[in-house]
Copies of this chain bind each other. A is one copy, B any other.
Amino acid sequence: MLKIPEHQVAGHQAGDGKLGPLVDDSGHFYKPLQDGKRGSRELAFYTSFSSNPNIPDNIRRFFPAYYGTQILEASDGSGPCPHLVLEDVVSKYILPCIMDIKIGSRTWYPQASEDYIQRCLKKDRETTSLSLGFRICGFQVYGGKQSEFWKPEKKFFQGLSADDVRLALRKFVSSNLSAESNLSPASCFASSVYDGSNGILAQLLELKKWFEDQTMYHFNSCSVLMVYEKEKLLKGEASGAVVKLVDFAHVMESGGVIDHNFLGGLCSLIKFISEILECPNDYRNKDCLQDSGRSYDFVGNGIRE
């Protein structure tokens, strides 16, 4: 029985006659092949990656498993359409907290059409992509009680500032989702989710190490998915935090060069998460800001201005 995914936080979504991915009960995620080059590029990536002997095992786990393609009735009723059969990365979670972060200060690439480049560039400048090297595209988070749940609408993610992003990364591991706690979210799950040898930060650092060296693929406009299990945290168990890379419609050959655009954005995200772990209680704490050098006074004007 195919159904619409319950826990999708970004990207094209099925339902209301729209084309989007489907899932089944045995942990598969069926992603319709996108039109034209996007679909063929994503398929080419999964085909290449899944049979590439140069991918270390510790890196392979950051990618959804790939089970080939299958022709299925499209979710928009447009008839049979080829779908990528992938691992449904959240199928085993009961209360999955999920954040989708598009990595890179540049989401376009030299080979794209001029029109596509200009549209991407505009969006990169309007969002935090350009300034932070990444942008949050969507998330859902369960609160301290099972009844609490927060999944902002698309509109929420337009025009976020650096501080909004800091706050979102804190809220994502907070036990208190109420509006009043906006300024100082109690990030009581920060260490369980972000820290430790199995935490998000350790996984991002492992990924970073690979990106410093790999010259096979350039992951343009690709997302890091951070997922953990709130159900387990509430029971006092380990968070089951995982990092996955998703969305490979714009992956390109590298020309023998590292993906410096992805790597730079990944390092920026790593720094944001590190700062939360350094000051888990209050991100506007002055001592914290000074330690991290952020309050340093540097005014870009002098003589002859």
Copies of this chain present in the complex amount to 2
Residues in B neighbouring A265, C-beta threshold 8 A: 260, 264
Contact A261 B264 (CB under 8 A): yes
Q: How far is the CB of A2 from chain B (nearest CB, A)?
A: 21
Chain A interface residue bracket vs B? 35 or more
Report the Cα distance A213→B268, complex, angstroms.
Answer: 9
Contact B105 A260 (CB under 8 A): yes
Of the residues B40, B214, B289, B305, contact of A303 by C-beta under 8 Å? B40
Contact A214 B47 (CB under 8 A): no
Which residue on B lies nearest to A305, using beta carbons? B40
Contact A303 B255 (CB under 8 A): no
Residues in B neighbouring A296, C-beta threshold 8 A: 52, 54, 216
Contact B257 A267 (CB under 8 A): no
Contact B36 A267 (CB under 8 A): no
Report the Cα distance A97→B64, complex, angstroms.
Answer: 48
Residues in B neighbouring A125, C-beta threshold 8 A: 110
Q: A133 at interface (Cβ–Cβ under 8 A)?
A: yes
Q: How far is the CB of A103 from chain B (nearest CB, A)?
A: 10
Interface 0/1 of A11-41, CB less than 8 Å to B: 0000000000000000000000101110111
Report the Cα distance A300→B106, complex, angstroms.
Answer: 20
Which residue on B lies nearest to A257, using beta carbons? B132
Interface 0/1 of A271-303, CB less than 8 Å to B: 100000000000000000100111011111111
Q: A94 at interface (Cβ–Cβ under 8 A)?
A: no
